[in-house]
Structure 1
Amino acid sequence: LEGIIAKKSSSTYAPDLRSKDWLKIKVNQRQEVIIAGFTKNEDTVKQFSSLLLAVYENGQLQYVGKVGTGFSDKLQKEMMAQFKPLITDKSPFETIPDVNKPSRFRPNPPKAKATWLKPELVCEVSFSEVTSDGVFRHPSFDGMRTDKKAKDVVRETAVDTEAIIEEKDQPEDKHAKALKPPKEKERKTLLNPKDETQVRKICGHDLKFTSLSKIYWPEDKVTKRDMFNYYYRVAEYILPYLKDRPMSLNRFPGGIHGPSFYQKNVKDKAPDWAKTFPYTTSNGEDKLYLLGTDEASLLWMASLGCIEMNPWFSRAQSPDNPDYCVIDLDPDKNTFDQVVEAAQEVRKVLDAIGVPSFPKTSGSTGIHIYIPLDSKYSYDQSQMFARIIVKLVHQQIPGYTSLERMVSKRKGKMYLDFLQNRPGATIAGPYSLRPKPGATVSMPLTWDEVKPGLTMKDFTIFNATDRLKETGDLFKGVLGKGIDLVKTIKKAQSIFDVDGE
């Protein structure tokens, strides 16, 4: 199939006349590729003329052509900033490709000079076909792929549609993907152990890290440097839960026992490269939130003294529609074993109505339980659903749980908090450090781990990365397929005494 013809339903065919009523849409293939270098033609004023592309085949880097379309001037400048630290005199290919090779489409190509890069950056291109010598024909640049590692980029091969359908028809283990250990080897630290001030280029931006020996967790002798190194090492795990989300900055510039404050408005404060999100609160206040995007935004927040990361439940693309519903078990005079028992009661209710759930320690005193919604519902609908669940749980364990919002009315009982499900509310995200003695981490768990004897200090800055090497990201399902709220509530009504609210 080369392509399709699309037409406006009311239009008629007119020979030798081009219009938007009839469109020829060509089928293109897509492939992630490594940027192995760039060329610059003689007499050009552009940052570069084309990118030199590569993929791995049988462990060897193979040249697959060059791409010279799909860039704006602004994008080229941004890309060149990423290229400069990677420029090298040595070609990454065993056999240096002829970047000025003529083709039947360009028998006299302009003379271009090649500049080689260390093969670390990944982008995506679309193309019409692959030539007999493995080069992409008519490629076009589609964008950078910061989520991909260069070593994982191999030449893709087409698979028969029926084979894919057969695979999709197999029953899926909802947790299988989340339980896979990470492919990447353990990441080294970002900052050296000696210099008090260090500058590092992160995602093409120079970030300055200062006062690195300042003690942030005095009881545990954990420094500001340790915090930066932790977030650098867990970046691939935490970033999916920060990406495109407005952030509430909870700042502890003097460490966990010093003064702290929340900052939500970063107008005139954020660096030029940072992405932001304008939002008018229910009180009519105009604020400019920082968006979590990449390692640079993560480490810039940490440089402000943000010990913990507090993302919205929704993304900037759909700010009124949360990606998940959260039930927050907030103890008062309860033991942690009672928190565990309450969490298992939540699980029983959710299992009974076929709802997947994902627990994590809060890193403080409680447990958070996430339910995927896939941004299909409003905050009000999410909160309504959470309220139904906690009411059912409270009926099972009324002796030590409460639905009272006012602390004084709870009488020391554990609060089953469903009101976190509202616009702008935040809790510490998965893999976030917490400003608590012990340098604890809000750690995703398997349900088998939610049992008596579990403690908050089981997961800290000291052991979190070792755990992640073994478990991988247990929380992936939170950002996966969302529940069908209508069907779920009907099922709850058929099993429990639920009024539908």
Structure 2
Amino acid sequence: MATKTLDKKIEKAERGEAKIIDKAKLAEALLKDAPKSAMPAKIKPMKATLVDEPFDDPGWVYEIKWDGYRAIAKVTEDEAELISRNNLLFDQFYPVNDLLKKWGHNAVLDGELLVLNDKGISDFGGIQNWRSEADGDLVYYVFDILWYEGKNLMDLPLSDRQTILTHILPKNDDRIRQSMVFEARGIEFFDAAERMGLEGIIAKKASSAYTSDLRSKEWLKIKVQRRQEMVIGGFTKNEGTSKPFSALTLGVYKNGKFKYMGKVGTGWGDKLQKEMMEKFKPLITDVCPFDVEPDVDEPSRFRPKRLGAKPTWLKPELVCEINFAELTSDGKVRQASFKGLRTDKDADDVVLETPTDTDKTVKAADEQAEKSIHPKVEPPKKARRTLLNPKDESQERPVNGHLIKFNHLSKVYWPEDGITKRDMFNYYYQVAPYMMPYLKDRPMSLNRFPNGIHGPSFYQKNVADKAPEWAKTMPHVTGEGEHKEYLVATEEDSLLWMATLGCIEINPWFSRVQSPDNPDFCVIDLDPDKNTFDQVIIAAQEVKKVLDAVDVPCFPKTSGSTGIHIYIPLGAKYDYDQSQLFAKMIVQLVHKQIPDFTSLERMVANRKGKMYLDFLQNRPGATIAAPYSLRPKPGATVSMPLAWEEVKKGLKMRDFHIKNAIDRLKETGDLFKGALGKGIDLEKTIKKARTIFE
């Protein structure tokens, strides 16, 4: 994404001018399937973990870190409440309350109340001092929806909750806006936020659920400016000053003790000082609130002279927010600037927020998501209707919230069978719920046939500047040193966009972007030369016998061309070299059983027409046709998962094709899901194999 383009998008998001695509149909389907529940009685906002630097990682989306008051909105048809993080009502922000009351729906929303300055940037001082419309433009930026019209949405992925939010949020008054989600690179997005003087950015895992009051590692905040909430423990007054006070003494809680963190002496005007003194007066005490009484007039290398500052202690009940340059070696803030009081925070909850290591935190979040290694995509109970109508030559459809254009729909791709582009698009739309678990989060090699199966074809791996803005990509340097930007499949929009490029067959990596060096399965590719398909079946049965002997599960599918692929689950626990060595051991054992018509020779000329037992597919960047992929062969054959009982003489490649695959799936369901299951224990398996076969 170009830098200037990203800056403009952020500016539009701040002004509430971001274009939001209509996601009505998808939102309605998600709401229909969501579980029923009563409106939650007590909800506290889900919180983000502070990390030390921005990052690029697939599966994350980014938002602006707004500089205001976090607020949960509970809305019914005749009432609305805005609730702070410490469960106080924000009744003073009556314009937003009034707008939500008029909405006429029942919902629980999460967002940020803020005041925008004349540049459209949120101003914390503005929200702190807001009393009426004369004090600035009050806006409620909504970034999440937790419950809607009797449906609990908190367990849905963030991306689905965003889709619903886009559909239901009122759009008739820009004082309530949806916070824009950016599918950008994190480092680039952070740099843009820094250039524009924003407080920071929020990174959220697109698959994250919503958990009340949790500080999540799937939501991360990266600050451009160093900000910290502090509790005011007193104020000082320098000799000879006529001002109410010169500085505030600040602290945070650590292990139940109130620790002194230094002073802040700038960031307020005369009017604000007087208002603050009125708040201080009832809290004045003779007792120092800090665990160790500080020298508030202590000189430093930055201020070597004492100023005659005298302290007045306060009960530690008021919370403020400051900017600061750094923490000194003795743990005091340096170059601090007061940003405002925080009435939405409890003093007892204020601790020093220390950034965690980004790489470790992101890895932990990814591992947490990987407890369910693959997406929970339930096949439909009844077949989907087709996506495209049978008449119009050009049609535009929303897919996963993104509009995709489908052109030249009557163009014939399989001339012997009269099968068109329209037929291909409709097939991939219908098969997507079964197919996506084998594509999600995987880099893709695009095998393009723009003029059908008999026209010129070519591979495309680099999609830099070609993929749509919403697409996920992964930078990768090939073994030849070439820099590529691979498309990463995410949802069915990725699948259908590939199809619009003429990708008749779909070719994913064996590994996912979360673990690119560790394949999810080992694959044995039975690739016949002059052999019959019945001989391919014999070879597949021999592979099954060897793997059964060592208690290793395996899952067969037709290649859709001439061979059979057999997958062995590894669970991303081993690297490609280990996977390849294991495959080599298996095919060597198979070759010993049927040497007359099989070969382990890589060079075609050296095979002498025998079937190649291919184990070398198990290498980084290698691809084969995915389960349920169409193939650019006469008959529009499909790479179809099989039950082992079907792998017997008489099975034919052309048994499975575009016209009967969906009907078969309605009967069998997904026979291949075990390939994405718990990986085998490779060390135990190899030891067992040696005791049996040596």
Larger-Rg structure = 2
Per-residue deviation, residues 24-57 of structure 1 (Å, max 9, x unmatched): xxxxxxxxxxxxxxxxxxxx9698xxxx999889
Deviation at 1:330, TM superposition (A): 0.3
Query: Residue 583 of structure 2 is aligned with which of 358, 371, 386?
Result: 386
Equivalent residue of 2:629, what SS? coil
Specify the alignment match of 1:234 in structure 2.
431
Deviation at 1:102, TM superposition (A): 7.4
Quote the Cα distance in structure 1 between the aligned partners of 2:592 and 2:145. Answer: 56
Query: Residue 416 of structure 2 is aligned with which of 188, 205, 219?
Result: 219
Per-residue deviation, residues 409-454 of structure 1 (Å, max 9, x unmatched): 1111110000000011100000000000000000011111111110
Quote the Cα distance in structure 1 between the aligned partners of 2:495 and 2:36. Answer: 33
Question: Which one-letter code corresponds to 1:450 in the other structure?
Answer: V
Query: Residue 427 of structure 1 is aligned with which of 611, 624, 637?
Result: 624
- Across the aligned residues of Structure 1 and Structure 2, the Cα RMSD in angstroms comes to 4.1
Is the alpha carbon distance of 1:135 and 1:361 closer, same or farther for their aligned partners in structure 2, counting shifts above 3 Å? closer
Relative to the length of structure 1, the TM-score reads: 0.71
Question: Which one-letter code corresponds to 1:382 in the other structure?
Answer: S
Specify the alignment match of 1:192 in structure 2.
389
Equivalent residue of 1:392, what SS? helix
Question: Which one-letter code corresponds to 1:394 in the other structure?
Answer: H
Quote the Cα distance in structure 2 between the aligned partners of 1:140 and 1:68. Answer: 15
Quote the Cα distance in structure 2 between the aligned partners of 1:476 and 1:347. Answer: 17
Quote the Cα distance in structure 1 between the aligned partners of 2:557 and 2:144. Answer: 38
Is the alpha carbon distance of 1:406 and 1:304 closer, same or farther for their aligned partners in structure 2, counting shifts above 3 Å? same
Deviation at 1:472, TM superposition (A): 1.2
Quote the Cα distance in structure 1 between the aligned partners of 2:156 and 2:664. Answer: 38
Question: Which one-letter code corresponds to 1:343 in the other structure?
Answer: A
Quote the Cα distance in structure 2 between the aligned partners of 1:438 and 1:287. Answer: 34
Deviation at 1:475, TM superposition (A): 1.1
Specify the alignment match of 1:170 in structure 2.
none
Equivalent residue of 1:309, what SS? strand
Per-residue deviation, residues 362-381 of structure 1 (Å, max 9, x unmatched): 00000000001111111111
Equivalent residue of 1:196, what SS? coil
Deviation at 1:208, TM superposition (A): 0.8
Quote the Cα distance in structure 1 between the aligned partners of 2:504 and 2:616. Answer: 24
Query: Residue 106 of structure 1 is aligned with which of 66, 89, 113?
Result: 89
Report whether the alignment pairs 1:452 with 2:649.
yes
Is the alpha carbon distance of 1:117 and 1:353 closer, same or farther for their aligned partners in structure 2, counting shifts above 3 Å? farther
Deviation at 1:264, TM superposition (A): 0.4
Report whether the alignment pairs 1:486 with 2:683.
yes
Equivalent residue of 2:455, what SS? coil
Specify the alignment match of 2:159 in structure 1.
144
Is the alpha carbon distance of 1:99 and 1:348 closer, same or farther for their aligned partners in structure 2, counting shifts above 3 Å? farther
Is the alpha carbon distance of 1:406 and 1:229 closer, same or farther for their aligned partners in structure 2, counting shifts above 3 Å? same
Equivalent residue of 1:279, what SS? strand
Q: Which moves more between the two structures, 266-275 or 254-263?
A: 266-275
Contact 1:55/1:61, CA 8 A, preserved across alignment: no
Report whether the alignment pairs 1:468 with 2:671.
no
Report whether the alignment pairs 1:337 with 2:320.
no
Question: Which one-letter code corresponds to 1:348 in the other structure?
Answer: K
Report whether the alignment pairs 1:372 with 2:569.
yes
Contact 2:379/2:434, CA 8 A, preserved across alignment: no
Per-residue deviation, residues 380-407 of structure 1 (Å, max 9, x unmatched): 1100000000000000111111111111
Contact 1:70/1:142, CA 8 A, preserved across alignment: no
Report whether the alignment pairs 1:293 with 2:467.
no
Relative to the length of structure 2, the TM-score reads: 0.52
Equivalent residue of 1:307, what SS? strand
Is the alpha carbon distance of 1:193 and 1:380 closer, same or farther for their aligned partners in structure 2, counting shifts above 3 Å? same
Report whether the alignment pairs 1:268 with 2:465.
yes
Contact 2:379/2:433, CA 8 A, preserved across alignment: no
Deviation at 1:182, TM superposition (A): 3.9
Deviation at 1:477, TM superposition (A): 1.2
Question: Which one-letter code corresponds to 1:228 in the other structure?
Answer: F
Question: Which one-letter code corresponds to 2:562 in the other structure?
Answer: T
Specify the alignment match of 1:41 in structure 2.
none
Quote the Cα distance in structure 2 between the aligned partners of 1:323 and 1:362. Answer: 18
Equivalent residue of 1:234, what SS? helix
Quote the Cα distance in structure 2 between the aligned partners of 1:118 and 1:289. Answer: 43
Deviation at 1:64, TM superposition (A): 4.6
Deviation at 1:67, TM superposition (A): 8.7
Q: Which moves more between the two structures, 408-417 or 110-119?
A: 110-119
Equivalent residue of 1:376, what SS? coil
Quote the Cα distance in structure 2 between the aligned partners of 1:141 and 1:487. Answer: 38
Per-residue deviation, residues 208-249 of structure 1 (Å, max 9, x unmatched): 110000000011110000000000001111111111111000
Quote the Cα distance in structure 1 between the aligned partners of 2:378 and 2:46. Answer: 38
Specify the alignment match of 1:160 in structure 2.
none
Is the alpha carbon distance of 1:115 and 1:305 closer, same or farther for their aligned partners in structure 2, counting shifts above 3 Å? farther
Per-residue deviation, residues 106-164 of structure 1 (Å, max 9, x unmatched): 27374133768999xxxx9999xx9xxx999xx89972348x99xxxxxxxxxxxxxxx
Equivalent residue of 2:416, what SS? helix
Is the alpha carbon distance of 1:446 and 1:118 closer, same or farther for their aligned partners in structure 2, counting shifts above 3 Å? farther
Quote the Cα distance in structure 2 between the aligned partners of 1:467 and 1:313. Answer: 25
Report whether the alignment pairs 1:439 with 2:633.
no
Deviation at 1:105, TM superposition (A): 3.3
Specify the alignment match of 2:23 in structure 1.
none
Contact 2:31/2:151, CA 8 A, preserved across alignment: no
Query: Residue 350 of structure 1 is aligned with which of 525, 547, 550?
Result: 547
- Listed as ranges, the gaps of 5+ residues in structure 1 are 1-43, 78-94, 150-179
Contact 1:67/1:141, CA 8 A, preserved across alignment: no
Is the alpha carbon distance of 1:212 and 1:320 closer, same or farther for their aligned partners in structure 2, counting shifts above 3 Å? same
Equivalent residue of 1:453, what SS? coil
Question: Which one-letter code corresponds to 1:295 in the other structure?
Answer: E
Specify the alignment match of 1:284 in structure 2.
481
Quote the Cα distance in structure 2 between the aligned partners of 1:355 and 1:385. Answer: 12
Q: State the identity as a percent.
A: 64
